[in-house]
Amino acid sequence: MTTSLASQSPPHELERDLESFFRERIQKIGGMTLKLAPTVAGAPDRLVLLPGSVIVLVELKTSKGSTRDIQKIWHVRARQLGTHVHVLHGKQEIVSWINRYLDSRSS
């Protein structure tokens, strides 16, 4: 059974609002999210720990935000090492990503 976490994105969403929204939604499903210090250019915003020993890196962007070239390079390198990296644009993608995770746990 999937719990709906749907929400509408405001017309002028801010990344800091997305971070709060993301953190709250991850906590609701029993996970943790840690904001990573920007010490390495291109590294994702968040380390996410989910039930079931799932560890992923997440880059949050507004609905209209874009990924910089240095971020794309970093994401490719992390994926080559077997690390899951997800770039989520806006609240709707956050909700969809969480719902896909919940669906994968129930199957």
Residue range 42-99, pLDDT digits in tens: 999 899 999 999 999 999 999 889 999 999 999 999 999 999 999 999 999 999 999 9
**Distance between CA atoms of residues 61 and 53, nearest Å:** 25
Query: What pLDDT is attached to residue 97?
Result: 94
pTM comes to: 0.82
Q: What is the DSSP letter of 3?
A: P
Greater confidence, 70 or 11? 70
Query: What pLDDT is attached to residue 4?
Result: 44
- Pair of tokens at residue 43: 């590294």
CB 21 within 8 A of CB 94: yes
Distance of CA 36 to the CA centre of its chain: 12
57 three-state secondary structure: strand
